[in-house]
């Protein structure tokens, strides 16, 4: 199946594409669609479904969208659904991933390492028509460390530490990340559904 990914985030697209073979995934701009969707919902599920439905209406093609949040226990679950825009209301401008990470670390500077538990939650919406869609959600538990480490990955990966690996997500390969990550697990759930649908056709 050929899917459109409701995002302009090529990093996310590459992660999903590496897992979704033999299905194909394209960005809207690659087929000439000028795509923009403002995330205004208060849950990951509604944001993911909103993005996928919006692109489906523009393209009339099967679409997939993800919304991922980082939930830090010591910050009462923040940044949560606002993960992608974290800190922008404080600085009144867009922030780079490095700046968002530093802002998060600043907010945790008085929290000891025993209380820095956090989790990524990824929700994926697969829209096949306006009345036919599926939702998937998976999580990854970890700890927020006190400085950025590693050169792989993107977003909050440099500060998200996996105790069982003794590494951040930015210190492991994409293959290993896809094996354990919230997004990797959710995409595999999508694959099970796509394979099931293919067998029914």
C-alpha span between 167 and 165 (Å, rounded): 5
- What end-to-end distance do the CA atoms of the chain give, in Å? 11
DSSP letter at 123?
A: E
The conformational region for residue 121 under phi > 0 = left, psi -120 to 50 = alpha, else beta, is beta
What distances in angstroms separate CA 156 from CA 34, 100, 167, 171, one per listed residue? Answer: 27, 8, 13, 12
Contact yes or no for 136/123 (Cβ under 8 A): yes
- Residue with token string 């997500």: 169
Residues catalogued as catalytic: 67
């Amino acid at each position: 199946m050929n899917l459109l990914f409701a995002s302009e985030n090529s990093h996310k697209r590459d992660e999903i594409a590496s897992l979704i073979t033999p299905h194909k995934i394209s960005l809207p701009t690659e087929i000439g669609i000028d795509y923009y969707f403002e995330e205004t919902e208060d849950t990951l599920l509604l944001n993911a479904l909103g993005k996928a439905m919006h692109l489906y209406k523009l393209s009339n093609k099967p679409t997939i969208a993800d919304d991922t949040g980082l939930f830090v226990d010591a910050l009462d679950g923040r940044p949560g659904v606002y993960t992608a825009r974290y800190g922008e209301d404080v600085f009144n401008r867009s922030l780079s991933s490095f700046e968002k990470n530093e802002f998060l670390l600043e907010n945790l500077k008085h929290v000891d390492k025993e209380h820095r538990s956090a989790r990524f939650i990824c929700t994926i919406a697969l829209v096949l028509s306006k009345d036919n869609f599926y939702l998937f959600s998976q999580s990854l538990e970890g700890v927020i460390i006190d400085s950025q480490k590693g050169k792989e990955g993107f977003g909050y990966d440099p500060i998200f530490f996996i105790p069982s690996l003794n590494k951040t997500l930015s210190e492991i390969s994409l293959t290993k990340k896809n094996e354990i990550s919230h997004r990797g697990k959710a995409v595999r759930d999508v694959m099970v559904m796509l394979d099931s649908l293919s067998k029914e056709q």
